[in-house]
Each structure stands twice: as structure tokens, then as C-alpha cells.
Amino acid sequence: MSAKPGPLTADRLVQGRRVIVCVGSGGVGKTTIAAAIATELAARGRRVAVLTIDPARRLAESLGLEELSNEPHLVDPERLAAAGIDMRGELWAMMLDAKRTFDDVIERYAADRAARDRLLENRIYQEISTAVSGSQEYMAMEKLNELDEEARFDVLVLDTPPTRDALDFLDAPSRLARFVDSRALGIFLRPGGRFLGRGSSLLFRALQRITGVDVMEDISEFFVAVGDMTQGFRDRAKRVEALLAARTTAFLLVTSPQPEAVAEAVHFGRRLAERRLALAGAVVNRVHSAPAEVDGGVPRADLAELLGDELGGKVARSLEEARRLAERDGRSIARLRGELRGAPIVLVPHLTEDVHAIDGLADVNEHLFGRAERFEAAGG
């Protein structure tokens, strides 16, 4: 008789991948899972960069760093070794700075130095490039393209914003390509770079009298400069679309067993399927397991006899609560299995402490990659 296969590990989800995109709703430990996967692959000898698109500081905290910047930062291997992680490769980490990335794009792709300086100093550009909404997703696309083109890293691990914002990231390449291929720029410009319409001219002259700023000139100059770069935007957008659809790219759903988080994961899985993007599988984080005492049916009376009425009652109630949580988690995992239609699912148990440092990442990886004693949630 053949041996029963062991529980699934994350090896199957990440093997042979160059880009790993971790997606999920807020508060499920997505950043921790992204950092843990990146750490494991680096420990195995790969040169790995983990990039967070989420402006929160959780990635830096989980790696024991004070801060991260828009450029890759090498995580000190001695710091990792102190946590019991033998680093045979390199782990680099960074946090997207949309403004800095936008400026870098202008500096890299402007037609010449004069055009670059005009655009960087343009007031309309300065407003757009500092806006968090919208530019964050476009600049995530640009940063991913930059890292891929540089080919400095064997693996890129992306930690995205909460689920529905991550959908914006996925849509950004196609939206940008549609914009630059449309007549949208032409609506604002005519030969010579001036706006169409006498009414528009009157409006902008009125604004200039009130503010002292030639708004019409700024906007016209902005669109002319961007218009000169549209082919580059178009080419890079298509390149990122191809990269996200490549067989070496994997999308990894990260969720907790909370019903609301599972519903978000199901939603995201469906949207990935609509886009024909590869779902490598899911990681269910913070799963409760049923205590053996409850599964074995230890009577409350026996606990009272062993521990006394008061303490025995508290222990019995705690065990019952743990059993209830394990059953709830089992139902959620069963639903996820059904909705994902056979996609592999890796379970990570609910750890006693939140992961706020490298030690915690090592603990998570013990479960993600199968070096800890494995478990199955009730009903899972």
C-alpha cells in the first residue's frame, strides 16, 4: 500500500516562477506571506527582490528594517542568520514610491534634457505625480517593468494593496494603453499645442486673472510633453501585460479563514479567471486547528476534577471556543476549495504571536514549506 501524501506546501506554488504576485484583502497577513516566500527563495540561493505596492510599512517591519525606499535594499544576511535563516542567496526589499518612480520615468524617457526639465517643473505634472489615487497603480506597472528589464533578480515577489486596489494594478497596463491609443490627448490639443474652443480660452484666462497662474499654458505644455512619450507608455504597458500573463508569473491568493476574507479571495479568483491570468493557488493564513482534548471528548467534569471547578470551567470553555473556530475555519476552507476548483491551497496555522520581525518569518516558513509538524483544519 502506498503512503498517504503529506499536506501541500508552498513549493508547488512558487516552483519555476520569476514573478510572484501576492494578492488578498487587508488584514490577512499578505505582506507577511510575501516576505516569507521571498526569504525562503533567497535562502535557497536565489537573488530575490520583494516589492510592496502597499504604502503601509508592514514589509519593513516584518524584515526588521526601519524603512524601505523606492530602490532595492539588501537585507543584512547576518540579521537573517540570527533568526536561524541560512542565506545562500540574496534578499532585497523595497517599497514603491509613486512620485519617485514617475520622476524616474520622465528622466529616463523624455526626448531630451530640456523636455525633461519642462515636464518635471510643470505644475500640472507636479499635481498629478503626487496624487496617491491613480498614479500608484500606473507607477507600480512602471516599476515592475523596470525591475524585469534590468534582470538583476532571479525572482520578483510583489505585495499588492488590498484586493480591489490590486485589481486596479492589474488593469493599469490595459487602461494606459487604451488612453494613449485613443483620441483623448487630441481632444485637448491642436497643432501647436493649444486648446480647442473659445470657451476654454475664456475660462483659462479668467483663472489666470484670479490666480496669477497661466493654467492653460501649463496644461497645454503638459499634454504636449506627455504626448511625445505616448509610444513609450504604450510599449511598456503591453510588455507588462505580457509579463503578467507569462507562464513564469504566478498569482497567489492570500486569505484568512474569516468568511469575509474568503469571499474577497473568491471574488479575486473569478476576476483572475476572467483575465486568463494564472492562479498558482492560495495560502490560507491563521487557521485554527481543533485541540486534541476536545476531539477526544474530555468531559468537563474530568477537567473540573483535575483543575478545580473555576479553572477547569475556563479551560473547558477555551477548548470549546477553539473547536468552534476550527470548525468555522474548516467550512471556509471547504468553500474556498470548491470555488477555486482544484487550485492548490496551503494552510498556515494561527500562530500565538503576530509576525513583526524576521523570527516570525522563520516560523511562518516552517509551515509554508513543510518543515514544521503539519496540521489539517477541521473540515479542511
- Distance, CA of 340 to CA of 282 (rounded, Å): 9
pTM of the model: 0.82
331-349 residue pLDDT tens? 999 999 999 988 999 999 9
CB distance 177 to 234 below 8 Å: yes
Average pLDDT, the chain: 79
Residue length of the chain:
380
Rounded to an integer, the average pLDDT of 33-53 is: 95
| DSSP-H helix ranges across the chain | 11-14, 30-43, 58-62, 77-82, 98-109, 113-121, 123-130, 135-150, 163-181, 184-188, 198-211, 215-227, 230-245, 259-274, 292-295, 300-307, 309-340, 358-368
Query: What contacts 154, CB < 8 A, 6 or more positions away?
Result: 18, 41, 46, 47, 48, 89
Contact 239, 19 (CB under 8 A): no
pLDDT of residue 246: 94
For residue 198, pLDDT beyond 60: no
Pick the most confident of 16-30, 129-143, 366-380. 16-30
17-34: average pLDDT:
92
In this structure, which topology does domain 11-368 adopt according to CATH? Rossmann fold (3.40.50)
- Under the banding of pLDDT at 50, 70 and 90, the label for residue 362 is confident
Between residues 343 and 311, which one has the greater pLDDT?
343
65-78: average pLDDT: 90
Q: What is the mean pLDDT of residues 29-55?
A: 92
